[in-house]
Amino acid sequence: MAIYMLMPRIPGSTTAKGYEQWIPLFSLSCGAGRKIETTPGRVNNRIHSDALGVEIEVIKPMDQSSPLLFNEVCGGPAIPEVNIDLCHSSTDGFVMYMQYVLSNVMVSGYHAHINETHGSYELITLNYTDVEMSLIPQNVSGQPESPIRACAQVGCRANPATYIRRKILAKTSEGFDLFVATVYGETAGVHHGSRAAWKAVGSVIMNRIHKGIWHHYLTSDQIIKHTGFDAF
């Protein structure tokens, strides 16, 4: 499987046929949700809010798009449309089977992770207003069929784990409370709860582990120190 992102005016390093100068991605994380309240005994009269998307997070290698993406997060305008294609390999090259089309996109976060032993990668977050999701199924002969599409004007907010991670890494007072909530498994007055805090801290640590940091350091304390959370 391969993942490629097309962002106008920001060329990437992809050389695959049909995806030349797209930005290659290691991973993609996205979603949406809505708040639903159900009164006991009244399952047919639920109170719910409108659906709201969460910022899309992508992890990518450093390439010629890196300085331009950094420039975008420092004050770039909204990008009318961004395409993200998920592809599988075939005898004819890569074939797209899933596509995300984002509208009115702003780069809301840029985080570079660099290690002399295990290389470098970047975490990019994308804020958007509209999303179109398309799946292209295949028949038993492997031929593409009509796409299945879903479109929504969901708006966007930061992923809870992303929000908490930013607060922790910024070493704010709220970040300290979130860190305490994580360590002791308590809410400690933190509205997001300890589970979200664990996810935020864990996501940073696991990113290092997945890049080989686990084998580079001998103890878990050394891994945590590498993330910067030992500052608390």
Which segments of the chain are extended strands (E)? 2-6, 23-25, 27-33, 36-37, 47-48, 52-60, 79-90, 93-115, 119-127, 130-135, 148-152, 156-157
Q: What is the pLDDT along the chain (232 residues), one digit of tens a residue?
A: 899 999 999 999 999 988 999 999 999 988 888 777 777 766 677 767 777 888 898 999 999 999 999 999 998 899 999 999 999 887 777 888 999 999 999 999 898 888 777 678 898 999 999 999 999 988 877 777 888 999 888 888 776 666 666 666 666 676 666 666 655 544 444 444 555 555 656 665 555 545 544 445 555 555 555 555 444 4
pTM: 0.68
- Backbone phi and psi for residue 154, each to the nearest 5 degrees, phi listed first: -100, -15
Q: Are 192 and 168 in contact (CB under 8 A)?
A: no
Residue 26's pLDDT is 92
Q: What contacts 207, CB < 8 A, 6 or more positions away?
A: 59, 113, 123
Q: What contacts 85, CB < 8 A, 6 or more positions away?
A: 3, 4, 5, 6, 19, 22, 96, 98, 99
